[in-house]
Amino acid sequence: MTPPTSDVALGFLLNGSSVSVTCAPEDRLLDLLRGPLRLPGTKEGCGEGECGACTVLLNGLPVNSCLVPSYQADGATVETIEALADERHAALLEGGATQCGACTPGVAMTAEWIRRHPALGKRFPLSELMAGNLCRCTGYDGILKSLEAALTDDEGTA
């Protein structure tokens, strides 16, 4: 894909609805979501793909939206934290997965991806699967234990 040089009109499926938006060629997907699309649930933690706070699902895969040029979302499916129903968060709430909350939407999106592909959690340690989401508050135990609990719950209801 050749990067555009002038403003670009995009269309994609965002949290189940079609959106059309015009953006500057250098706008990141993160800028688009937090700016004109008014979805501030996705956070910017570092702006260089290290912390995972801006994680969204692009065509079903977790990506750092600060590293995705907006034009790459054209025609894609994008899911942000705002797409998840409250019930989806029960295990993470109970298990102490959130403290200050700044990393939390990104953590919840990576957790969602793992829950949609439970075989992943059987092949790889959860601590490896979650290693792209930095958290400075919890020491990760609350996140990993509650994700484990969520996966067990999912299995029971599948």
Partner 1 sequence: MPLAPLLRREGLAKLSGREQYVDDLDIPGALHGITVRSTSARGTIRNIRFDPEIDWSSFVIVDHRDVPGLNTVKLIETDQPALAATEVRHIHEPVVLLAHPSRRALRKAVRAITIEVDPLPSVLDFTVRPTPEQIQHGSDNIYKQITITKGDARSILADAPIIVEGVYRTGAQEHVYLEPQGMIAEEVDGVIIIRGSMQCPYYVHTAVCHALGREADQVRIIQTPTGGAFGGKEEFPSGVAIHAALLALKAGRPVRLVYDRTEDLAATTKRHPSWTRHRTAVASDGQLLAQEITFLLDGGAYMTLSPVVLSRGMIHAAGPYHCEHISIDGRAVLSNTVPFGAFRGFGAPQSLFAVERHMDRIALRLGLDPVTVRQRNLLADGQTTATGQVVADGVDRQGLLNRALSLSDYAAKRETHRQFNIDTPDRRRGIGLTTFFHGAGFTGSGEVYLDSKVAVAGLPDGTIEVRTASTEMGQGTTTIFTQLASDRLGLPPEAVAIAQPDTAVVPNSGPTVASRTAMIVGRLVQEACDDLRRQLSLDATDRGNDVAEAIRAWHRTHPNGLLLGQGHYRPPPGIEWDEGTYRGEAYGAYGWAAYVAEVEVDLRTYGTTVLDFVAVQDVGTVLNTTLARGQVQGGVAQGIGWTLMEECQWEDGAMTNNQLTNYIIPTSSDIPPIRVAFQETPYPHGAEGAKGLGELPMDGPAPAIANAIAAATGAEAAVLPLTPERLMADLDR
Among residue numbers 44 through 83, which ones bind partner 1 (CB under 8 A)? 44-48, 50-51, 53, 80-82
Among residue numbers 5 through 44, which ones bind partner 1 (CB under 8 A)? 26, 34, 38-44
- Cα angle 134, 33, 86; round to 5: 65
Nearest to 29 by CA among 83, 101, 85, 77: 77
In the list 104, 114, 121, 151, the residue contacting partner 1 (rule: CB under 8 A) is 104
If the CB atoms of residues 56 and 68 are measured against partner 1, the closer one turns out to be 56
Task: Give the DSSP letter string of 34-51.
Answer: HTTT--TTSPPSSSSSSS
In the list 96, 115, 120, 149, the residue contacting partner 1 (rule: CB under 8 A) is 96
If the CB atoms of residues 47 and 75 are measured against partner 1, the closer one turns out to be 47
| Angle formed by the axes of helices 141-157 and 104-116, nearest 10° | 30
**Is residue 143 at the binding interface for partner 1, with CB under 8 A as the rule?**
yes
Specify the 3-state DSSP secondary structure of 61: strand
Write down the least CB distance from residue 65 to partner 1, Å. Answer: 13
Stretch that binds partner 1, among 9-17, 57-65, 114-122, 135-143 (CB under 8 A): 135-143
Single-letter amino acid, residue 129: L
Are the C-beta atoms of residues 147 and 130 closer than 8 Å to each other?
yes
Two structure tokens written together for 88: 């989806």
Residues near partner 1, by CB under 8 A: 26, 34, 38-48, 50-51, 53, 80-82, 84, 86, 89, 92-105, 108, 125-128, 130-144
